[in-house]
Structure 1
Amino acid sequence: MATQAFDQETFAQAIEDNDTVIVDFWADWCGPCKRFAPVFDDASDKHPDVVFGKVDTEDQRALAGGLGIQSIPTLMAFRGGYLVYREAGAMSGPQFEELVKAVKALDIEKLKEQANAQQEGAEA
């Protein structure tokens, strides 16, 4: 699946509608972002079961600001609607491939149980 450009609406919809979503926050002036772009695009071709999205932080300032993006590139990964990874910095191809595999391997039911337990603990 090709990489998709996300705005505020499509970002939220992608997370809601898909099991696994990985998002790259970037800007055209960012050298590390430009070097990482082919790695991200290659992974999107290798993993058609994952939605790969890009957010241009210059064009989507409200979205990036609302998510507290302070450094780029920043990667976020979601499984079953839950944020499971967030880190600033570019990765090599092999590093990113390992991340994608790790995110896909997460047990979604276990994630839900942990999230519910944390929420119940916070309400107590």
Structure 2
Amino acid sequence: MVHEITDANFEKETAQGLVVIDFWASWCGPCKMQGPVIDELSEEDKNIKFCKLNVDENQATASSLGIMSIPTLLVKKDGKIVDQIVGYHPKEQLQKLLAAY
């Protein structure tokens, strides 16, 4: 399951455990490709929390984190940012990246 998060609950929702946040927008073509990959991963790996943050509706968080391009995936572990990847990435590549954590 992918959790929709906002500026208001970003810190609370991403403070514990391993969390992947997908920064996206409805008009973004690569975001539309990345979305289903994130959905699949969320169903397969219950040890990781997957979240989506719409940058058009939640500009404060994206701005404060310096998110300049979408899709951007931010990986947080126990509240600390441990990785950031920009652009579309296939499922296998993301699985390898997340296995390191």
Q: TM-score, normalised by structure 2?
A: 0.94
Aligned position for 1:114: none
Q: Which amino acid aligns with 2:11?
A: A
Aligned partner of 1:27 in structure 2 is: 25
Q: Structure 1: which amino acid aligns with 2:53?
A: V
Q: Which residue in the other structure is 2:7 paired with?
A: 8
List gaps (5 residues or longer) in structure 1: 104-124
Q: Aligned residue for 1:58?
A: 56
Aligned counterparts of 2:3 and 2:93: Cα–Cα separation in 1: 21
Greater Cα shift, 69-78 or 80-89: 80-89
The residue identity in structure 2 corresponding to 1:10 is: N
Which one has the largest radius of gyration? 1
Tell me which of the two structures has the higher relative contact order, counting C-alpha pairs closer than 8 angstroms and 6 or more residues apart. 2
Q: Contact 1:7 / 1:55 at 8 angstroms: preserved in 2?
A: yes
8 A Cα contact 1:14 1:51, kept in partner: no
Aligned length: 101
- Stretches of structure 2 that go unaligned for 5 or more consecutive residues are none
Identity of aligned residues (%): 34
More displaced stretch, 38-47 vs 7-16: 7-16
Once the two structures are overlaid, the 10-residue window that deviates more, 60-69 or 50-59, is: 60-69
Q: Distance in 2 between matches of 1:99 and 1:74?
A: 14
Q: CA deviation at 1:99?
A: 1.6
Q: RMSD over aligned Cα, in angstroms?
A: 1.0
TM-score, normalised with respect to structure 1: 0.77
